[in-house]
Amino acid sequence: MKTNPLRSILHRLIFLSLIILSGCGPDGDINEWRRLSQATEERHYHLYVPTGTLERNESVALVINMHGATPSPSFLPIFASFFQQVITGMPVHAAKNNYIVVHPQSRRSGDTQFWDTSDNVDVEFINGLVDHLISTLPIDPAKVFLTGFSSGGRLSWKLACEHSDRYAAIAVVAADRRAATACPAARSVPVIAFHGTDDPTVGYAGGLDSIETWAEEHQCQQREIIFQKADSTCEHWSGCNDESEMQFCSSEKAGHTWPSGPGSFVISAAGYGRTTYTIDATDLIWNFFKTR
């Protein structure tokens, strides 16, 4: 069987990233891998709780950060979720901004780990994980947020559509809404989305159509440009049902990457397109979430 050269390069780059970054995580009350058993299945997730959170016992926000489809070796079941930490730098960001962040692990199909939206297994896993975390940690149930890259973003859309009462807002990067093609009856969950115009994996048109359709379903009244610099433009929809809002940031000639992500150079080097550094997705996502 022929080896995919991009896959081989990505494996090597990811392993290099793991070696470089494995000892660079922030201190915290909790910074560890855990397992959660549900029905007949056991899943891994990484839990980061900022220093002092448990002692203060003040409720804080929870961000679930879901990885994209990632080629991964069978001997390392946490591979994709660790790589999502590398790409986004979210544990370090959470330490500075005092929120709990969790990186859950998807199922495996062949040599790839990705979120499967064709059934409800992953939906039930994420909902169950959130319930478990709320019951055991000082989390404000009204401040539970979802974000995801590629297939993780697609699962975020599905959860916002089918379980809109559970999530305060979602953020999607390089993803479309094909797993939730129509859900006008859902609560108008606030959404911020990011997409590169030259994304070779998930087409830009699908990403833009996803948020335009969501805004139309929830009767948003006004659309305006709120940021424009170099290769990036951010638009804002307001006057939506439930006093909601939407944002969409596009980056010209950018690919299937996380804007300004500290580990996105790995994806770019593997052939998935240019990374923009004009906007910082992790910063913008948290700024959007913390106002909910």
The pLDDT of residue 229: 98
pLDDT at residue 23, rounded to an integer:
45
Q: Which residue has the tokens 């022929």?
A: 2
Q: Where are the domains of the chain?
A: 5-289
227 Cβ partners below 8 Å, 6+ apart? 233, 234, 249, 279
18 pLDDT above the threshold of 90: no
pLDDT digits (tens, 9 = 90+) for 239-249: 999 999 999 99
Q: How does residue 72 score in pLDDT terms, banded at 50, 70 and 90?
A: confident
Indicate the range of 107-121, 149-163, 214-228, 254-268 predicted with least confidence. Answer: 107-121
The amino acid at 170: I
**What local confidence, expressed as pLDDT, does residue 1 receive?**
30
Mean pLDDT of 92-119: 94
Whether 261 has a pLDDT exceeding 80, the answer reads yes
Of 238, 255, 239, the closest CA to residue 247 belongs to: 238
Euclidean distance between CA atoms 178 and 234, whole angstroms: 22
How many separate helices (H) and strands (E) can be counted in the chain? 9, 13
What is the Cα–Cα distance from 31 to 26, expressed in whole angstroms? 8
Other CB atoms within 10 A of residue 21 CB: 16
At 109, list the tokens: 């199909």
Residue with structure tokens 């940021």? 227
pLDDT classification of 24: cutoffs 50, 70, 90: low
Cα 249 vs. chain centroid, distance in angstroms?
A: 15
Task: Say if residues 207 and 154 touch (Cβ distance below 8 Å).
Answer: no
Question: What is the length of the chain?
Answer: 292
List, in order, residues 6 or more apart from 20 with CB less than 8 Å away.
none
Give the burial string for 117-143 (b: 16+ CB within 10 Å, else e): beeeebbebbbebbeebeeebbbeeeb
Task: Enter the tokens of residue 30.
Answer: 């909790």
Fold of the 5-289 domain = Rossmann fold (3.40.50)
pLDDT for residue 16 is more than 80:
no
**pLDDT (tens digit per residue) in 107-131:** 888 888 999 999 999 999 999 999 9
d(CA 68, CA 80): 7
Q: What is the pLDDT of residues 157-188, one digit of tens each?
A: 999 999 999 999 999 999 999 988 889 888 99
Residue-averaged pLDDT of the chain: 91
pLDDT band at 9 (very low <50, low <70, confident <90, very high): low
> Coil, strand, or helix at residue 239?
coil
- What's the average model confidence in pLDDT over 70-79? 81
Residue 202 sits at φ, ψ, to 5 deg, of -120, 115
What is the band of 8 on the pLDDT scale with cuts at 50, 70, 90?
Answer: low
Q: What distances in angstroms separate CA 168 from CA 2, 46, 61, 244, 288, one per listed residue? A: 45, 21, 10, 10, 11
pLDDT band, very low/low/confident/very high, at 62 (cuts 50, 70, 90): very high
